[in-house]
Structure 1
């Protein structure tokens, strides 16, 4: 599968037993995204393999450690979050000392090089580089996008990844301005919203904390959200309140005290929770739960309970 979907190469299984691995693939517009899991092995792409004319460029990103890659004198050891820009038109060798997992973002070389201000060359990329942090966070959406039947969603996903990759490689001034106006800001905003949706239950979640994750300042986080018509706090509060309402009206959560539901959704103070919930939904948390109980009973019995 590696030969078919990533690059033609000579592969030697160095693990005990048969070679067992997997590749999940997503075609996002003109960008190919893959999640690779493989056993301890060596991979050699020689000049013979290069004759396949696959000169595309792939950003490999470590999800585990244990893989070392060598191309054109540039050696790189993968660790979670760091990456290596691999050129299909250049011979390369990779060897793993343990089972590995990594991401691959593959784009056509001519598309990348047309916009690049640098000569094509393999390069190691730190996990701390801001664009790499954005890519790593963005890849958390891989499964959701892969399951989507909306071509626009896939195209946007691929465009943002491609734009971020161009920023890593280095672009000319015109392309840089295009990316800043189109992809970088949109990708950063999207990642901020995804982080809020994922981390809302943490009572310590803040713009500062998200900024540290992405390598930007809290002020930049706030500015990114300006065009969404909601502030950081409003996005966070809305996510917490919606989840709290879901738990309060879920019959399977009926034994949970209201205070525990408040804590589970990031609220520290019960009074503040009650006030914001009533402001948002026009009823108290207890009222919402009782109304849900009556509605569920009515549906179950087929009659109104007053």
Structure 2
């Protein structure tokens, strides 16, 4: 949160460190120096910690896996900030203590804490979660009293929680963002989604839904299409139902981006077929089976749209790959 001039990414796993130094590295080098918390195994058995964390101006987020560990920020380790920390549990049942309350976090739930006060996290078995550190002042236009949400779990079936989880996981897999403009957009979208999770004001919710919520819904719909593009029965109605949207709302998301659901599905299927045709491991398959796997049910239509997209027939692309 020190506003690095460029994005900073930290990746580590205790499994990659020498066993005899593992506890010292984890507790001193990572715990106290990097994240400023105290951490120790709960018992004498093996412990595990790994994380991928990114720092951007106004925002830090990451994915964590912890096992057999107690992590705490004591009064002595408070860093003097008054940020908000949002955790989303992915698996396991960590026990969080903060502000005199103790909560066992269920998979998928989100919970808000403050960096201005001590907290304790107990992970007896393997626990996976996402963490998000937000500047309080950056939320003031969207959320009036975030203190009201502290240590009150937000259930996993809330749309904002689902979309924030999806958005963060996608960003973590994607890696560092290349341009300041992209980073600014991403930070705005995450704050919008976080505000909806925490509890935005009426005006703040309207702004957040028009920006971050819409972007996350579209990204989730696109990911759904890529995951199911081989299904010949993929339709606007089926995707809208899986995303809990009306077909008209889903159409509007694509229209606002200057395209349509049908055009995006076609592009996804053409991209999939081109990838398979240029994969040497798929060289013994005939073109028709590849077209069907990509979701095309009509070979004539496949050949025509493929040539229009790539300026060459599927046979030409395969021949070029083989040469």
Question: Do the two structures share a fold, i.e. TM-score over 0.5?
Answer: yes
2:225 equivalent among 196, 216, 232: 196
Counterpart among 91, 116, 127 of residue 89 in structure 1: 116
User: Aligned pair in 2 of structure 1 residues 133, 209: CA closer, same or farther (>3 Å)?
Assistant: farther
Q: Which residue among 281, 298, 302 is the counterpart of 2:307?
A: 281
User: Within the alignment, does 1:25 sit opposite 2:53 as a pair?
Assistant: yes
The runs of 5 or more residues in structure 2 that have no matched partner are 1-29
Q: Deviations over 1:220-277 (max 9, x none)?
A: 222211112222122112211221133224443221123431332233x3xx243244
User: What SS does structure 2 have at the residue aligned with 1:63?
Assistant: strand
More displaced 10-residue stretch of structure 1: 208-217 or 79-88: 208-217
**5+ unaligned residues in a row in structure 1: which ranges?**
301-306
Measure how far apart 1:138 and its partner are.
1.1
Give, in angstroms, the shift of residue 80 of structure 1: 3.4
Report deviation, 1:16: 4.1
Aligned partner of 1:40 in structure 2 is 68
Per the TM alignment, residue 133 of structure 1 is displaced from its structure 2 partner at its CA by 1.2
Q: Out of 131, 134, 139, which is 1:107 matched to?
A: 134
**Residues 147-205 of structure 1 deviation map (CA, whole Å, 9 limit, x = unaligned):** 44323323322221111001122223443333233322223223322332343234454
Give the SS at the match of 1:201.
coil
Taking the aligned partners of 2:37 and 2:320, their CA distance within structure 1 comes to 61
1:169 aligns with 2:198: yes
Kept after mapping to 2: 8 A contact 1:37/1:100: yes
TM-score w.r.t. structure 2 length?
A: 0.78
In structure 2, distance between residues paired with 1:157 and 1:168: 17
> Equivalent residue for 2:212?
183
Structure 1 92/147 Cα, relative in aligned 2: closer, same or farther at 3 Å?
closer
Give the alignment partner of residue 292 of structure 2, picking from 263, 270, 283. 263
Using structure 1 for the length normalisation, give the TM-score: 0.82
Q: What does 1:190-269 correspond to in 2, within 5 Å? A: 190-267=219-296, 269=297
Cα RMSD (Å) of the superposition? 2.8
Per the alignment, residue 303 of structure 1 pairs with none
